[in-house]
Amino acid sequence: MHWADHTAQTLQKRGDSQVIASGITPSGEFHVGHLREILTAEMIHRACLDAGMDSRYIFIVDSMDPLRRVYDFLSPAYEQYIGHPLAYIPAPGADGEPNPDGGYYADHFLAPFLAALREIGVEPEVVMNHQTYESGAFADKIHSAIEKKDEIRRVIEAVSGREVPEGWFPYNPLDSKGSIDGVSVTGYEYPHVHWVDSHGVEGSADIRIAQGKLPWRVDWAAKWGIHGITCEPAGKDHGAAGGSYDTGIPICEMLGSPPPHKLVYEWIQLKGMGPMSSSTGVTVGPMDALGLVPPEIMRYVIARSKVGRHIDFDTGPALFQTADEYERLVAEPPEGPNEELSRRQQIARDTQLGALRLSQVKKGADPSDSIAGVSFRHLAMLAQIKSSDDDVWSSLRKSGHLDGEAGDALTGRLRRMRNWVDGPHFPDAAKVEMQSSINDEVRANLNDGHREFLSALGDSLGDCEWTDKAIGNCIRSVAAEVGIGGREAYVALYWIILGKNHGPKASSLIAEMGSEHLLSLISGA
């Protein structure tokens, strides 16, 4: 059983109504690592729907969280906003300066991220946390937390092993300048928390409106109850023993609500660079990634991996292998009645079918539609040797891959492929540069067997239909006749066509060449 279906089955024991959640703090640029949490949650939501349950997927934006520091992309002018909720400070302009006409900071960074999510088939209910505070929905939880502050403090210390400082209070009021930093609580009389700030100003915060917020560990637990969340995946930093998930569960219960099902996921790592982190700068943006990787492949990367295993995200050579794996699964999904399969085989089959189902951008879509009749490798070749999209469509029609006009799926795949080919992530080994003539280096790498094969192939191709299939048959037939191994036959072709010993499918490549061009290269060898 796929991990999302297994989680849905576990959740169903709680009832037939689920609220699946994920969240983010809109403090700056987002990275692909965030997509693991979001897609994990969204896939569980889909699995709940597939199991016949009522399910909502909400995306909580922690817009009430404060600006923690002046990030590299911000001007020093943002020093004045440290400690201020992200919902209430101005967005940066192109120069990093606060832009009073550019809307709010949280919205500025959130909008492109939500656009990226839509591209990948994720359209959650967006919940802005500052609006939840403004609405008064937090008031009862805040009051309960204040009433039980000593109990909460003991839980945090006992579970996390960290010492809570003297004077800790489970509510951070905004000071006279709008910051939560440097504020000391002096008393509480419902609904007001009395305070004095670092400027010597005294005031009161009304817990029924957004004049302050709960500390992170309490805030998270309160949100579970306010929204009725039944499952919220968390990264291993929060989900580790003694982490915020373990303190959140008893705090949630203290505040009068059942905690969600705990699910901990491993991080996505950039191949060879470790876990992605906004603070370390080891990132690939979701818009960048989805500008290169087909969305169903991005979803497949998450869907095929158990949540407790890290993912090596690679937009280089491994992307070909991932696409090949996905395409094989689409072409030949595992089948077989249970009585013919071992238990292990049944689990493997159901896991693969679940991954394929959950990889589709549109729920319930036919997986073959995502490929649009053209393999990833073939499209990579065409994107390099055809300068215009119309030439690509013409080639695909000629080869039988396309009937009529290209649809949205195929045009989207070609757009991303061109971005990949033209960008820094495309592997050098996969680059296709057609040779116009034979140079000395190529001749030096051809042996007598290669030359005999090429000469015989040149004679045979004169009578060959110029199609991928016919050319492939001709290559194999000539190789057998002259007694050269198949691998060496292709090496000879790659040397004369590309100037190296490897390349894309040779018959497909040759089919895109004019016969005169190929015969000229053969004669030059």
Domain boundary (261, 278, 294) is at 261
For residues 417 and 454, state if they share a domain: no
In-domain check, residue 346: yes
HEC letters along 283-334 = CCCHHHHHCCCCHHHHHHHHHCCCCCCCEEECCCCHHHHHHHHHHHHHHCCC
pLDDT of 302 > 60? The answer is yes
- Taking residues 434-447, report their average pLDDT: 93
Return the pLDDT at 341.
Answer: 84
Whole-angstrom Cα Rg for the chain: 29
What's the maximum distance between 2 C-alpha atoms anywhere in the chain? 97
Bridge-based pairing of strands 231-235 and 184-189 is: unpaired
| Strand, coil or helix: 243 | coil
Residue where a domain stops, chosen among 261, 294, 329: 261
Q: Is the pLDDT of residue 258 over 50?
A: yes
For residues 464 and 500, membership in a common domain is answered with: yes
Average pLDDT over residues 87-98: 96
pLDDT tens by residue, 2-40: 999 999 999 999 999 999 999 999 998 777 778 899 999
Q: Residue 246 forms beta bridges with which residues? A: none
Tens digits of residue pLDDT in 385-403 = 999 999 999 999 999 999 9
Average pLDDT score, the chain: 92
Residues 2 and 129 in one domain: yes
d(CA 299, CA 216): 30
Answer whether 0.85 is exceeded by the pTM.
Answer: yes
| Whether 7 and 126 share a structural domain | yes
Q: Is residue 153 in a domain?
A: yes
Asked if 295 and 391 sit in the same domain, the reply is no
Determine, yes or no, domain membership for 435.
Answer: no
Residues 362 and 464 in one domain: no
* Domain count of the fold of the chain: 5
Based on the fold, state whether residues 201 and 227 are members of the same structural domain.
Answer: no
pLDDT at position 282: 41
3-state secondary structure of 224: helix
160 and 94 in a common domain: no
Nearest-angstrom CA–CA distance, 322 and 292? 13
pLDDT value at residue 524? 87
Tell whether 4 and 83 lie within a shared domain: yes
- Give me 457's structure tokens: 């192939």
Shared-domain flag, residues 271 and 337: yes
Which structure tokens are listed for 343? 């238990």
Percent of the chain scoring above 70 in pLDDT:
97
What does each C-alpha distance from 511 to 220, 385, 396, 474 come to in angstroms? Answer: 59, 12, 11, 12
Measured CA distances, 251 to 68, 161, 172 (Å): 25, 16, 17
Q: What is the DSSP letter of 52?
A: T
Rounded (10°) angle between helices 3-12 and 33-50: 60
Q: Which helix H or strand E contains 411, and what residues bound it? A: helix 408-422
Confidence of residue 444 (pLDDT cuts 50, 70, 90): very high
Residue 343 counted as domain residue: yes
**What's the pLDDT at 286?**
64
- Dihedral, CA atoms, 74, 75, 76, 79, nearest 10 degrees? -50
We report the CATH number of the domain holding residue 482 as: 1.10.10.350
Query: Is 497 domain-assigned?
Result: yes
- Which pLDDT does position 284 carry in this prediction? 61
Structure confidence by residue, pLDDT tens digits, 99-150? 999 999 999 999 988 988 998 999 999 999 999 999 999 999 999 999 999 9
Contact 478, 452 (CB under 8 A): no
- Same domain assignment for residues 421 and 450: no
- Same-domain pairing of 144 and 246: yes
Which residue range is the domain that position 506 belongs to?
A: 440-524
